[in-house]
């Protein structure tokens, strides 16, 4: 048995959707354990692109059990839309293959209203949230006023909690944020309809996962965003509102740490970031524009253009350490084709001090200059490569050098968006070390 966690090793958007979809072929159960519909996993199968925001990527396979864990915050309207869209495409035809934790928290309309109003008030200091209410939903969870699926299923409990929350949130919206207030009955009736649609899918998913693992099933835990957006270990405050690292698999899915056998970190062969915040290796000239154009670097959820830069080994080393990463899946290596020289950021310099590890200080991160090691580029296209030996010599050297700097094996190389455009060096489901 091998249970595998798939984690973003940068600022998200690393291509986790494709990698999860690829390894889903060897898994029986796919679990989303944190985040909300601020994440977007893009999958390209037979030339057809599908973007998933809440439902695990295993939904594109006919026989895989998909689980939304208790650590996810769920907008039920978005979830139902996603279910219906998948069904219309011929996927997720069996409702028994999607299960939602009864302990997962709901995103409510007041969460979205607060999220969007706060960003407007921040002006130039905005964090760069998607405005989908994820942060405020997690705030309510920690403040112990959140509404869970189990509360939604109990009509009286839902009415009590919603009434109390609406009263408080409307005061905040009106007096502090200068926004319109929300109507209790409109929200209540809308969520009552969601209740009946989703009721058959809501169960104790922690117990379900334990039963699956006891039966010898292989489980894959699918993360959203990336390590550098982790609320504890990322570039705070320019982070998401949940723990994106592998340690949160346990609390976000309701499983014990001994049930995780491999942690695979997903990293682009360069670096991107959406939204505000420090980005030491960011490029501002033609090279950055080339990466953006060739890599089609636009957010799957928001459509926002991604900031682009060279590979930042300091940041990825940080991700390797805090996640306990056992292997790296390197994506979008093909995008680097055509560069004569490819710098790799190996350290940071700040006021004559060299940092080999990722600093916690936002002031330091915003002021550092990357220390680069320059590698020779290549001109040969990579999209037809299926074995490591198919790669040009300089592409092979680039991959091996990154392995050396990270002190971590690269187990997979993506050379295009398609499922088949992949070089697999090691399958984590075949190795339960």
Per residue in 276-332, pLDDT (tens digit) is: 899 999 999 999 999 999 999 987 666 789 999 999 999 999 999 999 999 999 999
**What mean pLDDT do residues 150-165 have?**
98
The answer to whether 428 touches 262, Cβ cutoff 8 Å, is yes
- Would you tell me how many other CB atoms lie within 10 Å of the CB of residue 335? 24
Gyration radius from the chain CA atoms: 22
- Would you tell me how many other CB atoms lie within 10 Å of the CB of residue 53? 21
The C-alpha atoms of residue 416 and residue 393 are separated, in whole angstroms, by 18
**What mean pLDDT do residues 355-381 have?**
96
410: helix, coil or strand? strand
Torsion angles phi and psi, residue 330, rounded to 5: -95, 120
- pLDDT band of 38, cuts 50, 70, 90: confident
- pLDDT band of 44, cuts 50, 70, 90: low
Catalytic-role residue among 21, 41, 75, 115:
41
Please report, rounded to a whole number, the percentage of residues in the chain having pLDDT higher than 90.
82
> In this model, does residue 433 exceed pLDDT 70?
no
What is this structure's pTM? Answer: 0.92
**What mean pLDDT do residues 242-256 have?**
97
Which residues 6+ apart lie within 8 Å of 186 measured at CB?
Answer: none
41 tagged catalytic: yes
- Would you tell me how many other CB atoms lie within 10 Å of the CB of residue 383? 12
Position 125 scores a pLDDT of: 63
Give, in degrees to the nearest 5, the angle at Cα 236 between 358 and 268: 55
Position 119 scores a pLDDT of: 84
The C-alpha atoms of residue 145 and residue 161 are separated, in whole angstroms, by 8
Helices (runs of H) and strands (runs of E) counted in the chain: 13, 20
> In this model, does residue 432 exceed pLDDT 80?
no
Residue 423 β-bridge partners? 413
Q: Which is it for strands 311-312 and 327-331: parallel, antiparallel or unpaired?
A: unpaired
Position 206 scores a pLDDT of: 98
Position 47 scores a pLDDT of: 66
- Would you tell me how many other CB atoms lie within 10 Å of the CB of residue 156? 8
CA distances from 101 to 67, 125, 212 (A): 8, 35, 15
> All domains of the chain, ordered by start, with CATH?
4-103+202-259 (3.40.440.10), 105-198 (1.10.300.10), 267-430 (3.90.170.10)
Question: Which segment of 39-53, 128-142, 373-387 scores lowest on mean pLDDT?
Answer: 39-53
Best CA proximity match to 309, nearest among 354, 277, 352 = 277
Position 131 scores a pLDDT of: 81
> In this model, does residue 411 exceed pLDDT 90?
yes
- pLDDT band of 249, cuts 50, 70, 90: very high
**What mean pLDDT do residues 326-347 have?**
98
Mean pLDDT of the residues in the chain: 93
- pLDDT band of 431, cuts 50, 70, 90: low
Best CA proximity match to 225, nearest among 217, 233, 213 = 233
Position 49 scores a pLDDT of: 75
Residue 99 is encoded by which pair of tokens?
């299960």
> In this model, does residue 268 exceed pLDDT 90?
yes
Detail the DSSP E strand segments found in 351-431. Answer: 353-355, 369-376, 410-414, 422-424
Residue 136 is encoded by which pair of tokens?
């405020």
How is the chain split among helix, strand and coil, in percent rounded to 5? 40, 20, 40
99: helix, coil or strand? strand
115 tagged catalytic: no
Detail the DSSP E strand segments found in 4-118. Answer: 4-8, 29-32, 41-45, 48-52, 65-68, 73-74, 98-101, 105-106
The answer to whether 224 touches 39, Cβ cutoff 8 Å, is yes
Residue 57 is encoded by which pair of tokens?
């990527």
The C-alpha atoms of residue 226 and residue 266 are separated, in whole angstroms, by 9
> In this model, does residue 81 exceed pLDDT 50?
yes
């Amino acid at each position: 048995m091998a249970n595998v966690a798939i984690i973003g090793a940068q600022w998200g958007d690393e291509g986790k959707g494709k990698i999860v979809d690829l390894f889903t072929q060897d898994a029986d159960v796919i679990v989303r354990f944190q985040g909300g519909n601020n994440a977007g996993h893009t999958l390209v199968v037979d030339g057809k692109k599908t973007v998933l925001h809440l439902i695990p990527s295993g939904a594109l396979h006919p026989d895989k059990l998909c689980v939304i864990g208790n650590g996810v915050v769920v907008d039920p309207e978005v979830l139902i839309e996603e279910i219906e869209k998948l069904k219309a495409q011929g996927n997720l035809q069996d409702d028994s293959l999607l299960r939602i934790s009864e302990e997962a928290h709901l995103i409510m309309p007041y969460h979205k209203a607060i999220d969007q109003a706060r960003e407007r008030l921040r002006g130039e200091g905005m964090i760069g949230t998607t405005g989908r209410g994820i942060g405020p939903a997690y705030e309510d969870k920690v403040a112990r006023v959140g509404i869970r699926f189990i509360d939604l299923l109990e009509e009286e409990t839902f009415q009590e909690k919603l009434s109390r929350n609406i009263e408080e949130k409307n005061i905040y919206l009106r007096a502090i944020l200068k926004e319109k207030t929300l109507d209790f009955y409109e929200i209540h009736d809308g969520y009552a309809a969601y209740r009946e649609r989703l009721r058959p899918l809501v169960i104790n998913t922690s117990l379900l996962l334990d039963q699956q693992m006891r039966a010898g099933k292989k489980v894959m835990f699918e993360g959203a965003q990336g390590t550098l957006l982790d609320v504890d270990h990322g570039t705070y405050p320019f982070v998401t509102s949940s723990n994106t690292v592998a340690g949160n698999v346990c609390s976000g899915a309701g499983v014990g740490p001994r049930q995780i056998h491999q942690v695979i970190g997903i990293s682009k062969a360069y670096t991107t970031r959406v939204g505000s915040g420090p980005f030491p290796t960011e490029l501002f000239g033609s090279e950055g524009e080339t990466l953006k154009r060739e890599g089609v670097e636009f957010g799957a959820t928001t459509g926002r253009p991604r900031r682009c830069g060279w590979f930042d080994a300091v940041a990825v080393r940080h991700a390797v350490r805090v996640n306990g990463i056992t292997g790296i899946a390197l994506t979008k290596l093909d995008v680097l084709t055509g560069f004569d020289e490819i710098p790799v950021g190996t350290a940071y310099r700040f006021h004559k001090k060299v940092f080999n590890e990722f600093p916690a200080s936002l002031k330091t991160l915003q002021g550092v200059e990357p220390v680069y090691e320059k590698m020779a580029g290549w001109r040969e296209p990579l999209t037809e490569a299926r074995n490591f030996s198919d790669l040009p010599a300089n592409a092979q050297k680039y991959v091996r050098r990154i392995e050396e700097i990270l002190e971590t094996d690269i187990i997979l190389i993506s050379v295009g968006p398609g499922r088949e455009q992949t070089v697999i060096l090691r399958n984590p489901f075949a190795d339960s070390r």
